[in-house]
């Protein structure tokens, strides 16, 4: 008899919790709909506040969304904090890591940006966006050899991507590989005729 009573209590509790969870899900869905609407109208403050009213620290989606909204509203510190929370919740996801690079770069925190690109490439070595932008960071720091390796990965996957072919060309030029650089600059001019940077590179090789 006691077993039956406990089973009934458990069943009732489960039904109640399921109902509450469904209500909470609907509430969050409505908040997202309203938040998107406010963002469309560039009303970022309301878009943020709407989500804060249903904020759940354990929600990857809410934290990621708030990270984006805070970023586009210029609240870079808050944006970084939300993205960091999202990363902690789903450490193998790369979208929040990319998101974190936006406020971090806006605040000039290049070490944090670099760390995120490194982690993204550990999770997804062929990721073209991370390879390209990490390559740019390395190029700007004067590490042309490693930069070339990252640009080459992108070019191998997307040979028609003129900006990656161009940077691969410049990295080779900086390494003294003028023959390879010339070929790459000429490829850029096939993809994007009259590209000024490629023309400049060819002039320097003459």
> CATH 1.25.40.10 spans which residues of the chain?
21-124, 128-206
CB 83 within 8 A of CB 60: no
Assigned token pair, 2: 């006691």
Q: What is the mean pLDDT of the chain?
A: 91
**Spatial distance between the Cα atoms of 42 and 31, rounded to a whole number of angstroms:** 16
Q: Does domain 21-124 fall into CATH 3.40.50.2300? A: no
> Within 13 Å, how many C-alpha atoms sit on residue 203's CB side?
7
Please determine, for residue 21, whether its predicted confidence score (pLDDT) is greater than 80: no
Mean pLDDT of 38-66: 96
Please report, rounded to a whole number, the percentage of residues in the chain having pLDDT higher than 90: 87
- Least confident among 24-38, 67-81, 135-149, 170-184: 24-38
Cα–Cα dist 50/72, whole Å: 16
Query: Is the separation of the CB atoms in 62 and 29 below 8 Å?
Result: no
pLDDT per residue over 50-60, tens digit each?
Answer: 999 999 999 99
Q: What is the average pLDDT across 184-194?
A: 97
The b/e string for 159-189 (b: 16+ C-beta within 10 A; e otherwise) is eebbbbbbbbbbbbbbeebeebbbebbebbb
Cβ count near 82 (within 10 Å):
27
pLDDT of 23: 54
Predicted pLDDT of residue 187: 98
Rounded to whole angstroms, how far apart are CA atoms 64 and 133? 21
> Which band of pLDDT confidence, cut at 50, 70 and 90, is reported for residue 25?
confident
pLDDT digits (tens, 9 = 90+) for 146-158: 999 999 999 999 9
Segment 71-123, tens digit of pLDDT:
999 999 999 999 999 999 999 999 999 999 999 999 999 999 999 999 999 99
User: Are the C-beta atoms of 198 and 187 separated by less than 8 Å?
Assistant: no
Residue 94 DSSP code: S
The pLDDT confidence band at residue 19, using thresholds 50, 70 and 90, is very low
Which CATH homologous superfamily contains domain 128-206?
Tetratricopeptide repeat domain (1.25.40.10)
The widest CA-to-CA distance across the chain, in whole angstroms, is: 95
């Amino acid at each position: 008899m006691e077993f039956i009573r406990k089973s009934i209590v458990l069943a009732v509790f489960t039904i109640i919790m399921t109902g509450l969870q469904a209500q909470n899900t609907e509430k969050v869905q409505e908040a997202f709909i309203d938040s998107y609407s406010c963002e469309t109208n560039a009303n970022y403050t309301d878009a943020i506040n709407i989500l804060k009213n249903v904020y759940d620290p354990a929600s990857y989606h809410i934290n990621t969304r708030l990270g984006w909204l805070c970023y586009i509203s210029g609240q870079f510190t808050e944006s970084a904090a939300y993205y960091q929370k999202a990363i902690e919740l789903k450490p193998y996801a790369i979208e929040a890591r990319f998101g974190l690079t936006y406020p971090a770069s806006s605040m000039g925190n290049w070490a944090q940006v670099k760390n995120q690109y490194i982690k993204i490439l550990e999770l997804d070595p062929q990721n073209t966006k991370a390879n390209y932008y990490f390559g740019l960071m390395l190029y700007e720091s004067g590490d042309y050899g490693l930069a070339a390796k990252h640009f080459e990965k992108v070019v191998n996957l997307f040979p028609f991507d003129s900006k990656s072919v161009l940077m691969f060309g410049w990295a080779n030029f900086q390494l003294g590989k003028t023959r390879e650089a010339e070929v790459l600059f000429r490829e850029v001019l096939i993809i994007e005729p009259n590209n000024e940077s490629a023309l400049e590179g060819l002039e320097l090789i003459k």
